[in-house]
Chain A
């Protein structure tokens, strides 16, 4: 999706908030937000593991991770 002017406004608004507020105020919110992404990923992989089709997808994703890790070595 293309970024329009409100995206940059949003980035600037957030940066200004971080600049003008103590770390103790914004860090817990950022942590909760980032944790949510990781929780979502865990939920997704747990959901895949429950079905045959999902386990096949997990196998492909694991193979890709191995392939990608091997490529990064060379």
Chain B
């Protein structure tokens, strides 16, 4: 399969970081990559300071094993060196950020737990995309388009959504996008349509 065409060694720093991080995550928990990196992996020429990842909720003990393997493989959590503190962040629906040890610089992986039924559905409908050349799990194109058009709405997000719509013109499920948008309005926006 095209996705497997290159090893990690000859990748650029962004792909190498994502592939190495996800290879560890995959051993412990189901994950998805969402938001800006999905667009960048599909050829948009814009930067993002982080890669956004959602993982299933896991127990503290499982998280401890997962976190310790990240440390052994050269990653470092920016929020704390204490596993208990890091887990507290996740439990309280905040994200935690991992970078290469000894680095404050990008790229960084922003990790958060699934927080509601939207995230659960994102996780259940995750996809791999051959054209990205990356053997990674992403949230579906429908989810990315819906979030960008209904929730995020910055110029870069609308451009990303347009870009993804063009690439997947014949494959995109418009009804599914509308269903997701309904869920976003119900669960992520207030009565005035604000976050």
Show the binding face of A for B, using Cβ within 8 Å: 1-2, 4-7, 9-11, 13-14, 17, 26, 29-30, 32-41, 43-45, 47-48, 54, 57, 60-61, 64
Contact = CB atoms under 8 A, between A and B. Distances in A.
Interface residues on B, range: 35 or more
A48 B13 contact: no
Contacts of A7: 50, 95, 110
Given A7-B50, A29-B105, 14 more contacts: A1-B147, A4-B94, A9-B78, A11-B49, A29-B106, A33-B105, A40-B12, A40-B40, A40-B41, A41-B43, A43-B133, A44-B41, A48-B43, A61-B167
B91 interface: no
Given A7-B110, A45-B43, A14 B79 contact: no
A9 to B, nearest CB: 8
Given A1-B147, A2-B151, A37 B40 contact: yes
A1 B52 contact: yes
Interface string B41-52: 111111101101
B153 interface: no
A14 B104 contact: yes
Given A36-B13, A37-B14, A6 B162 contact: no
B169 interface: yes
A47 B2 CA distance: 9
Contacts of B28: none
Contact of A37 (B47, B93, B163): B47
A50 B70 CA distance: 36
A10 B166 CA distance: 33
A60 B166 contact: yes
Contacts of B110: 6-7
Contacts, number: 101
Contacts of A10: 49-50, 78, 97, 108
A17 B45 CA distance: 25
A19 to B, nearest CB: 12
A64 B162 contact: yes
A19 B108 CA distance: 20
Which of A5, A26, A40, A45 is most buried by chain B, counting CB atoms within 10 A of its CB?
A40
Interface in B139-177: 147, 151-152, 162-163, 166-167, 169
14 contacts: A1-B34, A7-B50, A14-B49, A17-B105, A33-B13, A35-B12, A37-B14, A37-B40, A37-B46, A41-B43, A41-B44, A44-B42, A44-B132, A61-B167
